[in-house]
Chains A and B, each alone.
Chain A
Amino acid sequence: MASFEKIDYLLRPSKQVERKLIIEALQKLSKAGYYIHDYTYLGLGSIYYADFILFHKYLLIDRMICAEIDPIPNRMEFNKPFDFIELEMKSAGEIIPILDRTKQYLVWLDYDSTIDKDVFSDIRSCVHVLAPGGIFLISVVSDLRRLINLLDPSEAKELTEEQKKEKLVPVLNELLGIHYGQEISLRDLSTNKLPKVIAKSLQNFINSCLDTRDGIDFFQIFNFRYSDNIQMLTIGGIIDSSNSRENIEQSGIYNLHFVSRESEPILISVPPLTIREKIWLEKNLTSIEKHLTDNNCLPNNMAFEIEIKLVKNFIKYYRHYPLYYETLL
C-alpha cells in the first residue's frame, strides 16, 4: 500500500512543520544569492501535492516537476493544484538524466520507503547532475519497524523481533557500513540512534559522490528527524562551489535553531494540543519562555497540565504549528 492511502499527507503535523522550516530556511538563503523563486522544483508526487502548494505559495516557485511511479496518472493529473506542474509518470532515476544541467533545481526526494540501493543510486545521480547552487533534500524512513523489511521475508517470518534485529545488523552493515565508516551494532538500532547512523551515512555518501566533481561541495543545512507514527529522516543542503562557504555562513542561515551542519539530527516534535491550549500558550509565550530560561521550570499559573519538554518544543515550532479544521467543500 502506498503511504498516501494510509494517511492524508497534510495531516502529518511533523511533516508539515518540516516543510515550513525548509521554507523559512530557503527564504533566508536569498541573502546569500540563492534566489529560490527562480529554481525549478522536482518533487516526488503524492495526490496531495502538499509540498508543491507550499513551495509555490511561500517560495514563489512556478516551475515544478512532479515524479510519480504509481500507475495512477489520471488521479495525479486530476489532483494537480496548479496547471504549471509538469507531471512525469516516471521514477526519479528516469527523470534525473533529463534535467537541464544549466538550470537551478530544488530537488526533494521524499521517499516513503527506507534507504536501499535504489535510493543511493538516485542520490548519486542527483548529486552528479545538479548545477552549482542546486538544493538537494532527501527523506527516508528511519524506523526500525520498517527497516526490518530489508530482511529476506521468507527468512524473517519465523523470527522473533529480537532475532530480526540481530539479522538486520549485517544487512545494514552491508548497505550502510561503508558510508557510515564504523561497524553498525545492535545498539545503533535504537529509535534515537538509528536516524543518526542513517544521517551520517547519507552525509558521507553525498560527499563521496562529489569526488567526481572538482571544486564542488555539499553544504548541509537540514538534518531533521520526526515522527508522525513512522520515524523519518531528512538530510538536505546546497551543492555549490567550495568557495561558497563564507557566503552561505554570512546569510545567517546557521543561526536558525533548526538548521544543522552536524550528523546528529534535530528532532521536530509537535505536541498534540487542542486549539484552545495552543492559543493560550501563544498568548503567554514570552512570559513562559522567560520563566523557563530563568528558573528552568514552568510558571505556576499554567492553565492546564503539560510536560515541560512539550512546552519547550512548542516554543521552538509554534510559528510552524499546523492547525486542522474540518472543511466542508
Chain B
Amino acid sequence: MTSRDTAQSYVTKSFLIDIITRDIGILDAILELVDNSLDRVVEIHKIDVTKSLTEEYNFASSLVLPEAITININISDDEFTIEDNCGGITRADIEKEVFVFGLPKEGLKYTGLSAFGIGMKRAFFKLGRYVKLQTWAGEKDKTVIDWNIDEWMKKRYEEKKGYEDWDIPFSDIKASELHFNYELPGTIIKIGKLNSSVKTRFGQTEFVTNLKNRLKASYALFLKSGIKLILNGEELSYALPSFFTSEEINYTSKYWKIEDVDVRIIAGITPFDDRVPRGWYVFCNGRMVLDGDKTQLTGWGTHLPLFHPKFNHFLGFVSFSSANVKILPWSSTKWGVELDSPVYMNALEEMRIQAIPILNFLDRWKDIKDDDESSVTALRELLGEGKTTSVFASAKVETNFVFTNKKERPDVTKITFIKDRELVQRVKNALGNPKMRNSSVGEMVFDYYVESELD
C-alpha cells in the first residue's frame, strides 16, 4: 500500500443520512416537502401571506390564473405522493443545486420557505428508499429523476477506490411521456419503499389526523391567502383564533424592523365563547412555527409568569418576515424557534412588554369569581357584549391594548388563607355560629380588623 501525505477525511452517505434524519419527525419531513412547493409559489407570484395577518388578502385576486394554486398530498400504506402546480423546478436547478446537501439559495429577493438547503433531501430519506420526482418548470423544461436510494448508497467511483459517488442520474423516461394533472407547471413527487416506521405511522388514524392538524396550523396564512391544500382528497381549511373587541377593549398591534426582518406582534384576548387555551402563535415568512405556545419558548415562566388557566384567553400572534431566510428565528425543523437568535431575543422582549397589560387585565377579572369555570361568565359580565374580530381585517395600523372601564364595577380582590381547623372552629363559636361557612369567618375577621385598626 502506497503511503499518503494527507489524512483521509470525508463524509459517508450513511452517516449523513443518519444525522440529518435523526432530529426530524415524520410530520416535519412531510411539511418540508410542502415548504418546497410553497417556496416556488412565493418566488414566482411574489406573494406575501403575512399580509393576511393584518388585512383581507387573497394573492390570486391580482393575478390571472387558470386554476387555484394547489398542493395535493396522498398517503397510503405503501406510497407517499405530493403533487403541486406551484411552478416546478428547472432542469438547470436540478443539475446544480437541488440535490446538493446544504446549499441554500443565496441572495434571495423573496420571503421564501426554503432555508437550509437540506429539507427536501432529508424528507426523502426520512420517508422511504425510492423517490420518483417529475417536474415541469414551464414550456419544454421537464425533468424526471428515478432515485433508488439503496442502490445509490452503494455507488462508488471506479477510478477513485473507496470514494462514494454522490451524483444522482436522470431517468431515461422521455419528457414528452410525462403527464401532469394541472394546467400550471408543477412537480409530482412519489416516495415508495417506505421505511418501516413510516409505514406503521401512515397506517394510524391518529397520525393522519395529526398531520391534517399540523398542515392546517402551519399553513393557516397560506390557506387564508388562497392556496389550496388537499390531504387524501380532503381540502383543508385554515383555523386561526380571533380577538374579542368592544368599545372598551382592543388588541395591541405593533410593527418594527430589526436587521432585515419585519416583525409584527398582535395580542389581545379571545372571545368568551372561545374555550381553547390560546397563547402565542409564531410565524416565519408566513409559515407557523409555534402553535398556541404556552412554554418558555415564548417567554412563559421566564419573561412572563408561568402559563395558568386564568390566561386561557390570552392570544398573541408574532410574525417574522424576511428575504434573508437564514436570520429568521425558526429551528431547523421549522417547528419551534431558535431562542438564541438575536432577532427572536429582541422580539421576546417586545412580546413580554405587550403581554403584560393583557395578563394584568386577565389577572384582575379572574379575581372576581372563585373558580376557573365561572371566569368566562365573569369576563362576559365585566365587558358586556363585544364582537369577535378576526384580527386579520384590521390590525394593519398600530394600536395599543386598551381597557377603559366605562361602567362602574366593583374593584375587588380575593383573599385565601389556611388556618388550624380547631382554631377556626373556636372563632366560629366565639362569633356565635358554630356552623358558619369558612368564607364568612374570613370576611367577619377581616371586617373586624378594618373597623378596629384602620382610620
Contact = CB atoms under 8 A, between A and B. Distances in A.
Interface in B211-247: none
Contacts of B357: 90, 93-94, 97
Contact of B356 (A97, A209, A211): A97
Contact of B353 (A90, A91, A96): A96
Interface stretch (A48-56, A124-132, A158-166): A124-132
B193 interface: no
A124 B349 contact: yes
Q: Among B348, B352, B411, find the residue whose CB has the most chain A CB atoms closer than 10 A.
A: B352
Contacts of B356: 93-94, 97, 121, 125
B401 interface: yes
A103 interface: no
A252 to B, nearest CB: 34
Given A91-B360, A211-B345, A212-B345, A128 B411 contact: no
A328 interface: no
A125 B342 contact: no
B352 A125 contact: yes
Nearest to A213: B346
B346 A212 contact: yes
Contacts of B350: 128
Interface string A208-230: 01011110000000000000000
Contact of A128 (B349, B360, B401): B349
Contacts of B349: 124-125, 128, 209, 212
Contacts of A209: 349
A124 B256 contact: no
A193 interface: no
Nearest to B254: A97
Interface residues of A, number: 19
Q: How large is the interface on B (under 10, 10 to 19, 20 to 34, 35 or more residues)?
A: 10 to 19
Nearest to B305: A117
A290 interface: no
A212 B360 contact: no
Contacts of A94: 356-357, 360
A41 to B, nearest CB: 20
A97 B360 contact: no
B321 interface: no
A245 interface: no
A212 B345 CA distance: 6
B354 interface: yes
- What secondary structure prevails in chain B residues at the interface with A? helix
A90 B402 CA distance: 11
B252 interface: yes
Nearest to A154: B417
Contacts of A98: 400
A71 interface: yes
Contacts of A96: 353
A128 B342 contact: no
A145 interface: no
A93 B360 contact: yes
A214 B346 CA distance: 9
A97 B342 contact: no
Contact of B400 (A97, A128, A213): A97
Interface in A56-81: 71
A101 interface: yes
Contacts of B360: 91, 93-94
B401 A97 contact: yes
Interface in B243-299: 252, 256
Most chain B CB inside 10 Å of its own CB: which residue of A93, A129, A212, A214: A212
A121 B349 CA distance: 10
A209 B353 CA distance: 13
Nearest to A211: B345
Given A211-B345, A214-B342, A71 B353 contact: no
A124 B352 contact: yes
Nearest to B399: A98
Most B Cβ at <10 Å: residue of A71, A94, A128, A211:
A94
Interface of A: 71, 90-91, 93-94, 96-98, 101, 121, 124-125, 128-129, 209, 211-214
30 contacts: A71-B411, A90-B357, A91-B360, A93-B357, A94-B357, A94-B360, A96-B353, A97-B353, A97-B356, A97-B357, A97-B400, A97-B401, A98-B400, A101-B256, A121-B352, A121-B356, A124-B349, A124-B352, A125-B349, A125-B352, A128-B350, A129-B353, A209-B349, A211-B345, A212-B342, A212-B345, A212-B346, A212-B349, A213-B346, A214-B342
Given A212-B349, A214-B342, 9 more contacts: A71-B411, A90-B357, A91-B360, A93-B356, A97-B356, A97-B357, A121-B356, A125-B349, A209-B349
